[in-house]
Chain A
Amino acid sequence: SYVLIQPPSVSVAPGQTATITCGGNNIGSKSVHWYQQRPGRAPVLVISDDDERASGIPERFSGSNSANTATLTISEAEGGDEAEYFCQVWNSDSPHPGVFGPGTWVTVL
């Protein structure tokens, strides 16, 4: 089955840039989606199809995808960005196509 790899945690100072990676075999050939989940809340779609911001998501959030790594970038980080971030792909070649990464906790300190 297809496996996604994320760092467990990332720290960023307020106003600086956080970079969250999502690794997978030839992930650049797939569409990657990113979700933000604050504690006790349901996930929220942040980025779809590698780099499309979801409705209501600030321009500070951006995505890219190439080769074996997809990246979610949070510019000018704010305290409200502190959350878990999950990448996800739909692996169409598989009988069980839904795949989530393990998640990355972003700390803004």
Chain B
Amino acid sequence: EVQLVESGGGLVKPGGSLRISCGASGFTFRTYTMHWVRQAPGKGLEWVSSLSHTSTYIYYSDSVRGRFTISRDNTNNSLFLQMNSLRAEDTALYYCARGAYSMELWGTGTMVTVSS
């Protein structure tokens, strides 16, 4: 089955760090650009970061640049987001998504809560 499954979310204190993961199956992961998109409770979608299939091109939103790092392991079909210096406003459901310029496949998300 073609799917993306996020994991690693949880409760973290402000200023803390967390690494979330996205496991891919059912397709040739190494050929796809991948994205992280988040959604704060009751809010809209916010693009966070994107990574090309060979990791040549990396992009971040202004709100996370310098604090978050996107990476991938094409051998193990996984996408990661290392999140440092977390803030309350980073609290959201984090989705990974597949696609070049559109996002045609989404996971179900992993919840990250930043609170003391």
Contact = CB atoms under 8 A, between A and B. Distances in A.
A48 interface: yes
Contact of A49 (B48, B102, B108): B102
Contact of A103 (B37, B44, B101, B107): B44
A45 B62 contact: no
Contacts of A37: 45
A60 B66 CA distance: 43
B32 interface: no
B104 A98 contact: no
Interface residues of A, number: 26
Interface string A74-100: 000000000010101010000111111
B60 to A, nearest CB: 6
Contacts of A1: 62
A10 interface: no
Given A42-B107, A43-B95, A96-B61, A33 B44 contact: no
> Which of A42, A84, A101 is most buried by chain B, counting CB atoms within 10 A of its CB?
A42
B109 A31 contact: no
B62 A96 contact: yes
Interface of B: 35, 37, 44-48, 50, 59-62, 65, 95, 99-109
